[in-house]
Amino acid sequence: QSALTQPASVSGSPGQSVTVSCTGTSSDVGAYNYVSWFQQHPGKAPKLMIYDVSNRPSGVSNRFSGSKSGNTASLTISGLQAEDEADYYCSSYTSSSTYVFGTGTKVTVL
Amino acid sequence: QVTLKESGPALVKPTQTLTLTCTFSGFSLTTTGLRVNWIRQPPGKALEWLARIDWDDDKFYSTSLKTRLTISKDTSKNQVVLTMTNMDPVDTATYYCARTTGQLSEFDYWGQGTLVTVSS
């Protein structure tokens, strides 16, 4: 199972919106609505930001939103803030009843 | 309050077997729909899913690592154990356990992770 493809980095100024893409195949992202997104600050455990493509866990800011089209999922961060600077990973359930993570994207707040 | 914590050796030698324990609280792995996963992250690299055990004792493994992994649970101790055989320096990573709920993509609680270094 190959890792999902994410851009290595995206950046934006405070207040702007950025979108991180996550491209898989018809056996993972395209097959199920079981895509999640995680935020990871240096030296910390990942934190769930989005699950089931577009659902936000309690306590996660509504500046974070998720969507999916075909084999590509996307995470959008609106109203970018300094605290949003982190690594972001997507994950998808697969047709093999396993999970695959993305390659990771570093979001930089300029 | 849900918590998970990983424990195990910080250093293992090549070819040895690694045994990691995830001790959790705030939920029971006998509750329908709950699952515990193991995920690892080599230094500076991406996350990699390893294995999952469900409330009904169903077990699932990474396709590429399945011959080396065994996952089990002890519900009386609130623990999930992962063993990985034939360790290699490329297996050096932080190993995390994380809970998923009835929603298959809802990795809602994670442990702090434990760094395992493979070196002679």
Complete DSSP assignment for chain A: -PPBB--SEEEE-TT--EEEEEE--TTTTTT-S-EEEEEE-TTS--EEEEBTTTBPPTTS-TTEEEEEETTEEEEEE-S--GGG-EEEEEEEE-TTS-EEEB--EEEEE-
- Which residues in chain A are closer than 8 Å to B98, comparing Cβ atoms? 46
Which of B39, B106, B113 is opposite residue A48, by nearest beta carbon? B106
Which pLDDT score, from 0 to 100, does residue B102 have?
A: 79
**Burial degree of A13 (CB within 10 A; 0-12, 13-18, 19+):** exposed
What pLDDT, on the 0 to 100 scale, is given for residue A105?
98
Which of A52, A57, A89 is nearest residue B46 as measured by Cβ atoms? A89
The residue-averaged pLDDT of A88-94 equals 97
Q: What is the pLDDT of residues A5-44, one digit of tens each?
A: 999 999 999 999 999 999 999 999 999 999 999 999 999 9
Is B106–A52 a contact, with Cβ atoms under 8 angstroms apart?
A: yes
* Disruptive mutation site among B105, B106, B108 for chain A (greatest number of A CBs within 10 Å): B105
Best CA proximity match to B102, nearest among B2, B35, B28 = B35
pLDDT cut 70: percent of chain A above it: 100
pLDDT at B58: 96
Taking CB atoms and an 8 Å limit, are A51 and B106 in contact across chains?
Answer: yes
Q: Is A83 part of the contact surface with chain B (CB cutoff 8 Å)?
A: no
Taking Cα atoms as reference points, which of B82, B39, B78 lies closest to residue B59? B82
Over range A45-53, report the average pLDDT: 97
DSSP B67: T
- The pLDDT score that the predictor gives to residue A1 is 77
- Do residues A1 and A11 touch, judged by C-beta distance below 8 A? no
Residue-level pLDDT, tens digit, chain B, 120 residues: 999 999 999 999 999 999 999 999 999 999 999 999 999 999 999 999 999 999 999 999 999 999 999 999 999 999 999 999 999 999 999 999 999 987 888 999 999 999 999 999
Please determine, for residue A106, whether its predicted confidence score (pLDDT) is greater than 90.
yes
Residue A69 above 80 pLDDT? yes
| Of B63, B96, B105, Cβ closest to residue A36 | B105
Q: How far is B9 from chain A (nearest CA, A)?
A: 19
Mean pLDDT, to the nearest integer, of A84-98? 96
pLDDT at B103: 81
Q: Does A17 touch chain B (CB under 8 A)?
A: no
Residues making up chain B, counted from first to last: 120
